[in-house]
């Protein structure tokens, strides 16, 4: 089915709607064959910037480790105990978008991004031809996710209000995309439930994880299952500092 074209007037109206309530920042995100434009609220205080300072400090104190050499650092999320703020463009989301662009065939795949925030990871899958739905429990996040889909020409992408910790899907939904959701042990069971009940046979779930210690328990439990598991590392450039962050990308496949 041919996609509907986005008019300049439609984009201007959608941006004006966001601009009436937020100061806006625009970012370019590498998604392989396509460079995504991601718009986010401009923030006076950034949890990401604070986390980046902590991450750089820990790297300087750990020169014998991999992330202490060659300007490689652990992703800033790994230093945060709190949930990633939806309004920030975190390295995990950028890493997932880049990973889809460089490493995964997604044409004609149905995929859902859980807890999508700005929609960056899901849009990376859409850039490779996936049919994507962006889900979040925050209406403001979905406003930005809809605009980001629109400004990148993905008029077919749908958004939906969905509390992934409590709401349920009915049956198989295709592939699943999770960008940094393992920051709390209470999230492990919902992820395993979705893998069991909603990941379509033959399809893959993608989890971006920045190196949080709490996630090691999830990985141990995942190894006990009969899913096919592949672990890759994606390198993400810090757009401000002359550093690169490492993000783990887990591919979990359910057999036919």
Q: Which residues on adjacent β-strands are paired with residue 28?
A: 37
> CA–CA distance from 89 to each of 1, 162, 168, 246 (Å)?
31, 20, 27, 15
pLDDT for 63 equals: 43
Q: Which residues on adjacent β-strands are paired with residue 136?
A: 161
pLDDT for 76 equals: 66
Q: What is the mean pLDDT of residues 172-185?
A: 95
Looking up tokens 């604070």, which residue turns up?
A: 50
pLDDT at 187 over 50: yes
pLDDT band (50, 70, 90) for residue 44: confident
Looking up tokens 């592939």, which residue turns up?
A: 175
The tokens of 79 are what? 């230093």
The tokens of 142 are what? 């979905």
Which positions ≥6 away from 179 have C-beta within 8 Å?
90, 92, 93, 96, 113, 115, 117, 120, 121, 207, 208
pLDDT band (50, 70, 90) for residue 60: very low
Q: What is the mean pLDDT of residues 202-217?
A: 93
The tokens of 73 are what? 């650092």
Q: Which residues on adjacent β-strands are paired with residue 234?
A: 247
pLDDT for 48 equals: 62
Lowest mean pLDDT among 36-45, 77-86, 241-250: 77-86
Q: What percent of the chain has pLDDT over 90?
A: 66
Spatial distance between the Cα atoms of 107 and 99, rounded to a whole number of angstroms: 14
In three state form, how does the secondary structure of 122-159 look? HHHHHHCCCEEEEEECCHHHHHHHHHHHHHCCCCCCEE
Q: What is the mean pLDDT of residues 42-56?
A: 63
pLDDT for 61 equals: 46
pLDDT for 85 equals: 83
Q: Which residues on adjacent β-strands are paired with residue 115?
A: none
pLDDT band (50, 70, 90) for residue 229: very high
Spatial distance between the Cα atoms of 98 and 134, rounded to a whole number of angstroms: 17
pLDDT digits (tens, 9 = 90+) for 107-118: 889 999 999 999
The tokens of 162 are what? 């969905």
Q: What is the mean pLDDT of residues 226-248?
A: 85
């Amino acid at each position: 089915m041919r996609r509907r074209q986005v008019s300049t007037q439609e984009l201007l109206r959608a941006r004006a709607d966001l601009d009436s309530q937020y100061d806006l920042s625009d970012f370019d995100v590498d998604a392989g064959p396509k460079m995504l434009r991601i718009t986010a609220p401009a923030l006076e205080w950034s949890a990401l910037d604070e986390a980046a300072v902590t991450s750089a400090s820990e790297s300087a104190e750990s020169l014998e480790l991999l992330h202490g050499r060659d300007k490689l650092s652990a992703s800033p999320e790994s230093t945060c105990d709190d949930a990633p703020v939806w309004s920030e463009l975190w390295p995990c989301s950028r890493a997932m978008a880049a990973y889809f662009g460089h490493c995964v065939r997604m044409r004609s795949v149905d995929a859902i991004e859980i807890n999508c925030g700005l929609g960056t990871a899901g849009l990376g899958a859409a850039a490779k031809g996936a049919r994507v739905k962006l889900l979040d429990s925050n209406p403001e996040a979905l406003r930005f996710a809809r605009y980001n889909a629109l400004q990148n020409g993905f008029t077919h992408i749908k958004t939906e209000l969905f509390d992934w910790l409590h709401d349920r899907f009915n049956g198989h939904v295709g592939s699943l995309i999770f960008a940094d959701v393992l920051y709390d042990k209470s999230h492990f069971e919902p992820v395993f439930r979705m893998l069991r009940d909603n990941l379509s046979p033959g399809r893959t779930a993608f989890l971006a994880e920045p190196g949080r210690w709490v996630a090691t328990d999830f990985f141990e439990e995942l190894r006990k299952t009969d899913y096919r598991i592949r672990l890759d590392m994606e390198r993400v450039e810090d757009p401000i500092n002359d550093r690169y962050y490492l993000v783990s990308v887990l591919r979990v496949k359910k057999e036919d």
